[in-house]
């Protein structure tokens, strides 16, 4: 397979690129910062820059003639109170987490249509299924990507192109280093500090990126993809069906307790 993975300079993206490269696939890793690896080709690509994406994809197609799989892994987090968040911060987040992912899909879909087949995995979050306290815009950006994923599945089905959203729980990666952190005002500071400490603890104790890469490799063996897959620790995954079946006020009470706000 010819594979493009975004956000491939570290974390899940790099681990996945190396795993699939080792398995014999031709892997191209997109990231702003290139890295050295004998298992995949690292390319300097800013996925918020459409022209840069198109040039990189054209270069790959000139040699490979096809792209079989895109993993839209690049993204960033954002923490802080909704009231305190600035328009500039929100736009920066959505430009990467949503617009960047869409631009990547747009760049590979013509080739996939020509070859009557292809696969796209949009890396989402379990947090996209609920509005997380002090991560409202992160939840919103991933939820928006989910809805785009659902919509585009209808639009590309006739060309045998399969697209799914893979919702991850907390993964042990350097994501905290690249988060947008909104300046938190005094009314929210006490609760924010409790939630933020817990958030970082969950990341530190999260699932290993190697486990995510193994899961994705198994996903590639499936003949037909569902719109959504969920991968993470049980305590995080269970929040999704509970959100569907519990009364909202009761669910919020559980979330406040889980987030150390009560």
pLDDT digits (tens, 9 = 90+) for 167-217: 999 888 777 678 899 999 999 999 999 999 998 888 888 889 999 999 999
Rounded Cα gap, residues 219 and 213, in angstroms: 10
**pTM for the whole structure:** 0.94
Residue 41, domain extent:
2-258
Rounded Cα gap, residues 56 and 44, in angstroms: 9
Residue 221: per-residue pLDDT: 95
Neighbours of 82 (CB within 10 A): 15
* Total tally of structural domains belonging to the chain: 1
Name the percent of the chain lying above pLDDT 70: 100
Name the percent of the chain lying above pLDDT 90: 88
The residues pairing with 231 across neighbouring beta strands, listed in sequence order, are: 168
Residues noted as catalytic: 9, 124, 138, 142
- Nearest C-alpha neighbor of 209 from the set 4, 17, 75: 17
Residue 18 has pLDDT above 90, yes or no: yes
Residue 76: per-residue pLDDT: 94
Q: What is the 3-state secondary structure (H, E, C) of 59-113?
A: HHHHHHCCCCEEEECCCCCEECCCCCCCHHHHHHHHHHHHHHHHHHHHHHHHHHH
CATH of the domain at 52: 3.40.50.720
pLDDT band at 21 (very low <50, low <70, confident <90, very high): very high
Average pLDDT taken over every residue of the chain: 95
pLDDT band at 235 (very low <50, low <70, confident <90, very high): confident
Residue 62 has pLDDT above 80, yes or no: yes
SS3 125: strand
């Amino acid at each position: 397979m010819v594979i493009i993975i975004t956000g491939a300079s570290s974390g899940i993206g790099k681990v996945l690129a190396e795993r699939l490269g080792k398995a014999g696939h031709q892997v191209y890793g997109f990231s702003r910062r290139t890295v050295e690896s004998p298992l995949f080709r690292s390319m300097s690509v800013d996925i918020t820059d459409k022209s840069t994406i198109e040039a990189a994809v054209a270069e790959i197609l000139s040699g490979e003639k096809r792209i079989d799989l895109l993993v839209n892994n690049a993204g960033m987090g954002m923490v802080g109170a909704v009231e305190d968040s600035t328009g500039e911060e929100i736009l920066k987040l959505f430009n990467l987490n949503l617009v960047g992912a869409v631009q990547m899909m747009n760049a590979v879909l013509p080739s996939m249509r020509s070859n009557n087949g292809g696969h796209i995995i949009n890396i989402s979050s379990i947090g996209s299924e609920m509005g997380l306290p002090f991560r409202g815009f992160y939840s919103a950006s991933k939820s928006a990507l989910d809805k785009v994923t659902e919509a585009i599945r209808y639009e590309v089905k006739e060309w045998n192109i399969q697209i799914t959203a893979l919702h991850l729980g907390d993964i042990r990666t350097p994501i905290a280093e690249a988060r947008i952190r909104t300046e938190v005002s005094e009314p929210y500071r006490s609760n924010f500090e409790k939630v933020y400490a817990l958030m970082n603890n969950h990341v530190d104790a999260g699932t290993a990126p190697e486990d995510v890469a193994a899961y994705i490799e198994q996903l590639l063996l499936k003949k037909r993809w569902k719109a959504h897959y969920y991968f993470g620790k049980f305590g995080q995954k269970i929040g999704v069906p509970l959100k569907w079946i519990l009364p909202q006020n009761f669910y919020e009470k559980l979330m406040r307790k889980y987030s150390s706000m009560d």
